[in-house]
Copies of this chain bind each other. A is one copy, B any other.
Amino acid sequence: MSTFGKLFRVTTYGESHCASVGAIVDGCPPGLELTAQDIQVQLSRRRPGQSDLTTPRNEKDLVHLQSGTEHGVTLGTPIGLLVKNEDQRPHDYTETDLYPRPSHADYTYLEKYGVKASSGGGRSSARETIGRVAAGAIAEKYLKTVYGIEIVAFVSSVGKIHLPALLAPPSLASDDNEDNDNVDDAISEEFRKLLATISREEVDKHPTRCPHQTTAEKMTQRIIRAKDASDSIGGTVTCVIRNVPSGLGEPVFDKFEAELGHAMLSIPATKAFEIGSGFRGTEVPGSKHNDAFVRRPDGSLGTKTNWSGGVQGGITNGEDIYFRIGFKSPATISQQQETAQYDGTSGTLAARGRHDPCVVPRAVPIVEAMAAIVVLDQLLQQDARKAAASRLPPIKTLPPTMVMPKKL
């Protein structure tokens, strides 16, 4: 269905060529200052046509708030919002309609619904993500206002061009010697520092949204090469969430990383997700992979390393949450493809108009939005539990195994 979230919940509608795309955002805490501008900022970061590297269509994507706020303050009631589709032209039927586009959703949507939108892939359209970005901006406004939670995503690879290992998530640092356990016993200091400090301003300094300028330039070349070849190229986005309280994540099926993975894998073109040490962590022995506890300056517990990526046993531990998502190379390319028609006849699908050769720079705000939705939704669930538990009278003689242990 088109709804995500339990207590903070977004429902979206719309495809490429209908009147508008939009969303209903339910469960926003009441009393939050919120204007269309709070949302527009991220919508504009998502918008195509921001640089030569992305699709030249210049959609304006102005958000119209319909309900849920008065005088710039949320009422706690559902926030309706929409963005008009500029391109509502009926699709002209041509020979290309005989072909399901390879690796696109044309074929599977027809298999699923028996009918199809003229645009082919229906709801798999990137325009569907507008509602998500809007909902995420609302969630984020709350999270930032109350907790100072910061969510920053950036491009960590385009094709084979990756951030230097020291700046990248641990999965890239593998040592191929099978008999050697002498892995780096921590994620790199540089990477951890990047996670701790990276800001959206820095990310946006380069059109690729890669925060390392040399690498960003190489990525630009790679994207231009794809564009010139009427081809496309994929990449990865890495995201950090800072200042999340401990205790979020619902055992056992709705672990924090399970909800986060669900959210990320629902973004079009994603094929992979890893949190913390991810696939790389499978190669590091437990004795080196375990995050030893240390006392933080404020007296609370932190971890010396952060292979866990801020989540242990499905529950946040207060450390930075970081994860990486893989986006496949866009299926829509501007070159001929040998494939088959719906009826099985083999043939050549003609090249179509210009498309985005690489979507990862534009995926950045979508990743941030889905992350914000997950955090607020989990936060509200934990709030309910915590508020309810806090009102219980203390139990006088809880056995020592059930409480915060005292020194023997």
Contacts and interface: CB of A to CB of B under 8 A. Distances in A.
A397 to B, nearest CB: 9
Interface string A149-160: 000000001011
B252 A123 contact: yes
A68 to B, nearest CB: 7
Contacts of A22: 66, 80
Contacts of A391: 146
A269 B352 CA distance: 45
Interface stretch (A50-58, A186-194, A293-301): A293-301
Contact of A315 (B82, B111, B175, B254): B111
Contacts of A270: 257
A224 interface: no
A300 to B, nearest CB: 8
A254 B181 CA distance: 39
7 closest A-B pairs by beta carbon, nearest first, are A105-B313, A295-B344, A13-B80, A232-B286, A272-B274, A108-B315, A234-B282
Nearest to A316: B108
Given A21-B67, A289-B329, 10 more contacts: A12-B78, A15-B75, A18-B70, A102-B292, A104-B312, A105-B315, A160-B180, A254-B266, A261-B265, A287-B333
A331 interface: yes
A20 B24 CA distance: 12
B21 A75 contact: no
Interface string A8-50: 0101111100111110101101111100000000000000000
B231 A287 contact: yes
Interface string A65-107: 1111011011111111010000000010101011110111101
Interface stretch (A195-203, A204-212, A378-386): A378-386
Interface in A245-262: 246-255, 257-262
A382 B388 CA distance: 10
B255 A266 contact: yes
A247 B387 CA distance: 15
Contacts of A276: 271
A271 B281 contact: yes
A168 B115 CA distance: 37
Given A9-B1, A294-B346, A271 B262 contact: no
24 contacts: A3-B9, A7-B384, A13-B26, A14-B66, A15-B67, A31-B392, A77-B117, A93-B401, A98-B405, A103-B308, A110-B404, A111-B246, A112-B246, A121-B313, A157-B283, A178-B218, A226-B285, A232-B285, A234-B283, A253-B263, A282-B329, A301-B340, A343-B404, A383-B383
Contact of A115 (B31, B229, B271): B31
Contacts of A353: none
B265 A258 contact: yes
Given A98-B407, A262-B262, A317 B107 contact: yes
Contacts of A247: 108, 111-112
